[in-house]
Structure 1
Amino acid sequence: MSNNQLKFRLSSWLTLGCITLLQALSAPRFIFSACASLMEQNYHISHVQLNNLIVASETGRLFGFVSTAAATCFPAWMILFIGLVFGLVGYGVQCFCISHRIPALSFWQALLLNILAGNSSCWINTYCQLLATRNFKDSYRTIVEITSTYSGLSGKILTSLVEGIEGRKGSTNSSIYLLLTCLVPVAAGLIVALVHSCLEFMEYGDSDVFPAVFVLIIATGVYTVIESVAPFFGFVSLRLRAVILALVLTIPFKVALLTAAADWFSAEKYHSQVTRTESNDSFESNPEKVSKEVKIAIGEEREADQKAGGEVDSDDKGLFKAGNDSGMKQLLLNVDFWMFYLVNACGPTLGMVYLNNLERITQSRSMGEASFLLEISSAFGFFGRMLSIMFHWYTREKSVIANPALTVLLMIPMPIAVFLLLDSNRCLYISTGILGTCSGALIAINSMTTSELFGSENLAAKQTIVLTNIPLGSLLFGYLAAINLQSEGAGDHGVCIGLQCYHKTFIIWGSICFIGTILSFLLHLRTQNFYSQKS
């Protein structure tokens, strides 16, 4: 094996490890489900105002186009630095306030800090895309999709870290969450920056990380789900569980070291055999020729992928002709687009709103297991994303099932899961797992469905429009939950105990989710001809 191949395999796995580490530790959507009561008490805000903080954080994520534009002007390390600083300031100041190290913040100051903290993930995601693009020339989109699934694990990882530090189960109302939310991404970013500075990015093609990367992600998903629900792990020390989870998260780095060691030994053995061979005509005796052959092979593979991509692009006009201003106007007047928009609002966005209300839901039922439910939602969300992306990867050259049809299948269990919440505490665990899995899978196929239905030109702008359903949905659905909770709890700061606290909310949420399921079925019917023509 040539030195170029050896370096590239090492570089590929190290890059994969860097991206997964950042994605897993830099997506703090879970923070409100863990610290809702803590924020309400320290900011002296109502349930409705807390929901506005959630909306502010989601609004900050809409400004991803700023980091994308900045990536064309600034070096990659600066993009990472800006994202880490935004997160450190956004959550760090709130952590100091809650721990009473600085004067109390006004509601508007907290609002701006949450916008800043939410936007930090955009910069970090842009940096991850830059890493993937530089090291995985042909399959960087797949790498980005795969590694983005790790963002669903952030809730479980940081919950395990908090429980490991405090040594007790169910530790949710703690400023340690906020502290770790701002410090852990910085620590991960410093590690990634150090590794990045040592990496030598290769010029040609991709490494053969597939299907090994799928084996890795399956093993991670299976472990996180089993670790969350298996009774056996209840007897394992919380600190040990946190250490094991950290070891699982850093598997790509271990694979990089093992790969480098194996390649080095095979290279040494190869060179020793060449030295003992006196034939000058041997193919293996000319390292430059080996390197050239590697480049030719990779180049041929890239051309094949480009041809395949060209075949897809020829049909990639979507349901209407896009690519200019008139195309965007037509998009906004397209009925199918707004049906797709509402499906996302009534499905995965509603699942996020449920996640943000987990702590208050468990408090109303006197359970005190918000952290456990957060782990379940995080683990099953990761599993749902993983299965969805793997299914798309292995069926990308076949017409097995269209994304709108897959959306229908994923939407069907969601209203059932919401209505089950009306029954008992036991159903809370089942519903959380279902909503986490379906929401994760729907989020994973969101961008692909947008590209297929509405064209890949100006995809970033189209996707930004679709993503506005998250803050808007959080504002509407969260407001309904907060108003009902305040009415049942006798005021803005009243505490409500009992199944009646969220009874109306779950009926409304379930009905909204059911409407989303019907809309997804109608969208599937309207796009059947389009997909039959593509196949």
Structure 2
Amino acid sequence: MPSTALQWFSLVAVILLQSINGTNLNFPAYSSELKRILSLTQLQVNNLAFANDAGKLAGWISGIAALYLPLWLVLMIGLMLGLIGYGIPYLFLSHQNISLSYWQLFFLTVLAGNSICWINTISYIVTIRNFPLQRQAAVGLTTSYISLSPVIYTAIVNALSSLTFEKAEEYLLLNAVLPSIFGVIAMPFLREIDTGKAKQQEAGFIAVSIITIATGTYAIVSSLGSIASRLSPLINLIGIGLCLLAPIVVPLAECVRAILKPNFCTSKEEDAKEADGAVEIANKEVESSPMVATMDEIGVKSMFKRLNFWLYFFVYFLGATLGLVYLNNLGQIAQSRGFSHASSLVSFSSAFGFFGRLLPCFQHYIYSRSRRRVPGPASIMTMTVPISGAFFLLLNGTNVSLYMSTAIIGACTGAITSVSVSVTTDLFGAKNFGVNHNVVVANIPIGSSVFGDLAALLYRRESHGHPTCMGLDCYRDTFIIWGCLSSLGSVLALILHLRSRKFYLDRLY
């Protein structure tokens, strides 16, 4: 099989794996039912939402493991952690003679959240190594599929039960089993492919991008309440499955092209000259490529001493993390506003998050032709501003404002998450990326705890002692505080942009 085809097969494998790796994003779809079944308080539900993200605090372990262990073994560890973290709670809820205390459930949720880091680390490493010249485009495409996880899981649950979306047992079972199945299927392709020389592969990325846009469009349309109610659950599931498998046409086309390509005989001397020339060209392309320029190759200790790191850390904290906290609480927010189909709203937000993660990919394609690139901190700044506006828009009680705000927050959060992969590499190098980026995203569980508990305490205050709060006042003060904090994040992003502007001008333009 030609090496270019193996390259694309590795990308398809990452896409399939990432599409079911966002298991923590499913929590809002079944959090209300879990609250009812286990008789939890709102603060306890928020703590479980925090536990979903708390595994990222130890995500750096997967980065270190990837430096010393085979990639397949790192992936296997992540799959086993997820199987245990979600499997045991499923057995507990399905009354399989397993008794769990709340804190045992909390620990298992942390374990499950950590499993996602291991799979993400492998996906990032394989994508960056196999597509060095299209790093941002490849990462943007693959990470966008994480946002489709709630859509995929909800479609499966709905097709299996045809009763209701909020099925905690079904979600936990699928969270445990699906990543393991897809991981075993993708494992043979999740490795570094030696293609002989780095080269642009524009046609392939255009094809995958078109398929990806079509997939996201289908996800949005199928998640709209009026259409979802008329669409057969089984037909919807088949449609999503076909969309996920569609990118495989690119590596298959590479195989066909290699078979049909005529073989010309050359002398050994000509072959040697051609090989030397290819290596020389590849080296020049990689050295001159704006996608592989970085400030320095630094480790975690050196990174902690840099002001740019702390600016970047808090920009992410007050941008993407704040958006993720909103999405984690979306089920409770929808319920407090009298919205009856919380899971469809979760799918809706995930679909927009999908397109948000694609924005850096499109941006790369537009500017790569002119050898220019929008600085990553500037891109993040343009995404934090709409997030703050969306929080203030939520003070309006209509369903239209709820949908609009959710779409904005989902898209902008996804965009920041995607572009941050390149920003981490730009600012701190690619050598220690697996550890460095997991340290950066460790702010997610911190924010989940701080912002989530704040929302829970304000929720409890407005409920006046009742387990459920109804009305706009339940989250009014929360949205005001979150909007102000997000505005502060925009200011910090501007400062980071000004500090790193010279680097982007000198190295990337």
Deviation at 1:474, TM superposition (A): 0.8
What is the distance in 1 between the residues matched to 2:74 and 2:233?
35
Q: Secondary structure at the match of 1:411?
A: helix
Deviation at 1:240, TM superposition (A): 0.6
CA contact (8 A) 2:6 2:189 kept: no
Residues 1:137 and 1:295: Cα distance change in structure 2 (over 3 Å):
farther
CA contact (8 A) 1:40 1:46 kept: yes
Is residue 2:305 matched to residue 1:330? yes
Instruction: Give 2:463's aligned residue.
Output: 489
CA contact (8 A) 1:150 1:382 kept: yes
Write the deviation string for residues 365-423 of structure 1: whole angstroms up to 9, x where unpaired. Answer: 22221111111111111101101233135425644532232222212211221111121
Q: Secondary structure at the match of 1:406?
A: helix
What is the distance in 2 between the residues matched to 1:346 and 1:223?
31
Instruction: Give 2:440's aligned residue.
Output: 466
Q: How does 1:49-448 map to 2 (within 5 A)?
A: 49-129=44-124, 131-132=126-127, 135-136=130-131, 139=134, 142-168=137-163, 171-193=165-187, 195-196=188-189, 202=194, 204-205=196-197, 208=201, 209-229=204-224, 234-261=229-256, 263-264=258-259, 266=260, 270=262, 284-285=264-265, 299-309=279-289, 313=293, 316-317=295-296, 323=298, 327-328=302-303, 330-331=305-306, 334=307, 336-396=308-368, 398-399=371-372, 401-423=374-396, 424-448=398-422
Deviation at 1:286, TM superposition (A): 5.8
Q: Secondary structure at the match of 1:171?
A: coil
Write the deviation string for residues 116-141 of structure 1: whole angstroms up to 9, x where unpaired. Answer: 11111122223334544675566567
Instruction: Give 1:280's aligned residue.
Output: none
CA contact (8 A) 2:321 2:448 kept: yes
What is the distance in 1 between the residues matched to 2:291 and 2:65?
32
Deviation at 1:163, TM superposition (A): 1.7
CA contact (8 A) 2:223 2:347 kept: yes
What is the distance in 1 between the residues matched to 2:146 and 2:277?
34
Instruction: Give 1:278's aligned residue.
Output: none
What is the distance in 2 between the residues matched to 1:532 and 1:137?
21
What is the distance in 1 between the residues matched to 2:119 and 2:292?
30
What is the distance in 1 between the residues matched to 2:299 and 2:61?
21
Residues 1:434 and 1:50: Cα distance change in structure 2 (over 3 Å):
same
Residues 1:254 and 1:294: Cα distance change in structure 2 (over 3 Å):
farther
Instruction: Give 2:36's aligned residue.
Output: 41
TM-score by length of 1: 0.84
Write the deviation string for residues 143-167 of structure 1: whole angstroms up to 9, x where unpaired. Answer: 3443122112111111122122222
Write the deviation string for residues 205-263 of structure 1: whole angstroms up to 9, x where unpaired. Answer: 35743333333333333333344349556532121111111110111224434543454
Q: Which has the larger radius of gyration?
A: 1
CA contact (8 A) 1:11 1:135 kept: no
**Which among 486, 489, 492 is matched to residue 519 of structure 1?**
492
Question: Which 5+ residue runs of structure 2 have no aligned equivalent?
Answer: none
Residues 1:330 and 1:430: Cα distance change in structure 2 (over 3 Å):
same
Residues 1:171 and 1:436: Cα distance change in structure 2 (over 3 Å):
same
Deviation at 1:183, TM superposition (A): 1.1
The worse-fitting range, judged by mean Cα deviation, of 208-217 and 129-138 is 129-138
Instruction: Give 2:451's aligned residue.
Output: 477
CA contact (8 A) 1:67 1:79 kept: yes
Residue-pair matches, total:
503
Give the letter aligned to residue 381 of structure 1. Answer: G
Deviation at 1:200, TM superposition (A): 11
What is the distance in 1 between the residues matched to 2:71 and 2:290?
29
TM-score by length of 2: 0.88
**Which among 476, 482, 486 is matched to residue 509 of structure 1?**
482
What is the distance in 1 between the residues matched to 2:214 and 2:173?
29
CA contact (8 A) 1:17 1:251 kept: no
Deviation at 1:432, TM superposition (A): 0.6
Write the deviation string for residues 58-116 of structure 1: whole angstroms up to 9, x where unpaired. Answer: 22123233223323443333222211111111001111112222333112211221121
Q: Secondary structure at the match of 2:354?
A: helix
Identity %: 34
Write the deviation string for residues 39-69 of structure 1: whole angstroms up to 9, x where unpaired. Answer: 3334443222222222233221232332233
What is the distance in 1 between the residues matched to 2:417 and 2:299?
27
